[in-house]
Amino acid sequence: MTKILCTSYVWHDDKCFKVNTINRPSGIFDYPEACHSETIVWVWYPVKNMAGEFIWQAEDISGSINTHLKICGMLHDTGTCEVEDEV
C-alpha cells in the first residue's frame, strides 16, 4: 500500500517546486511486502494550486526521507535537480 511520507513546497527565486516522497510496494514477486521510498519533483503553480511539468524522480530505502531532504536543499539553493556524478 502506498503511504505519503513527506510533501514539501520549495521556492527558488520566483519558481516553486512540489516535492513528494511516498512509500510504495517494490513489486518483488517473492517478497510482496517489500517497499521502497520514491521521491518525485514537479514544477508547482501555487496560484492555480496545480502541478506542472514532472522534472525528477529517485528511490531510497523504505521509510527514508533522506533523498527528499537533499533534493529540497538543492532546489532551494540552485533551482535545479541536477545531481553531480560522484567519482
In a domain, 83, yes or no: no
In a domain, 84, yes or no: no
In a domain, 55, yes or no: yes
Does the pLDDT at position 1 exceed 90?
no
pLDDT digits (tens, 9 = 90+) for 34-58: 889 999 999 999 999 999 999 999 9
Range of the domain at 8: 3-78
In a domain, 46, yes or no: yes
In a domain, 36, yes or no: yes
Domains contained in the chain, number: 1
Q: CA 61, 65, 70, 73: dihedral to nearest 10 degrees? A: 170
Closest by CA to 39, choosing from 84, 75, 4, 74, is: 4
The CA distance from 26 to 47, in Å, is 35
Percent of the chain at pLDDT above 70? Answer: 92
pLDDT band at 82 (very low <50, low <70, confident <90, very high): confident
Res 54: pLDDT: 97
Does the pLDDT at position 86 exceed 60?
no
In sign, the C-alpha dihedral spanning 71, 76, 79, 85 is negative
17, burial (CB in 10 Å: exposed 0-12, middle 13-18, buried 19+): buried
Q: CA angle 43-16-78, nearest 5°?
A: 95
